[in-house]
Amino acid sequence: MVSDLDDDNDGVADLNGAFPLDSSEWSDDNNDGIGDNADNCTLVANSDQTNIDGDSEGNECDLERFGKVSRLVDYPTNTDFPNTDC
């Protein structure tokens, strides 16, 4: 009966896990269908997982980072970045 409560044996009960049949995933904070462990941007829902620059973070998360980095790096197109956020 114990196995019935945790079909994938990841230590998270089926009722509590977002992925009861995937032992590598149990949570999906942004509810985009991609588990937190595989999600390249857990802060923003990005079900397509688009990642143009090929780093570890998806575009949705990169956009926020670019806004901050642009102030430290001398981008030639710096004036194109909005400076209203902080």
What's the Cα-to-Cα distance from 70 to each of 41, 44, 56, 61, 86, rounded to whole Å? 20, 21, 19, 14, 12
Torsion 9-13-14-16 (CA) sign: negative
CB of 50 to Ca ion, least distance (A): 8
Give the one residue of 1, 2, 34, 60 binding Ca ion; rule: CB under 5 A: 34
Tell me if 40 sits within 8 A of 56, measured CB to CB: yes
Structural tokens at position 2: 């114990």
Asked whether position 64 contacts Ca ion by CB under 5 A, the answer is: no
Q: Which is nearer to Ca ion, 9 or 84 (CB)?
A: 9
Report how many residues bind Ca ion under the rule CB under 5 A: 18
Interaction site with Ca ion (CB under 5 A): 6, 8, 10, 12, 17, 19, 22, 26, 28, 30, 32, 34, 39, 51, 53, 55, 57, 62
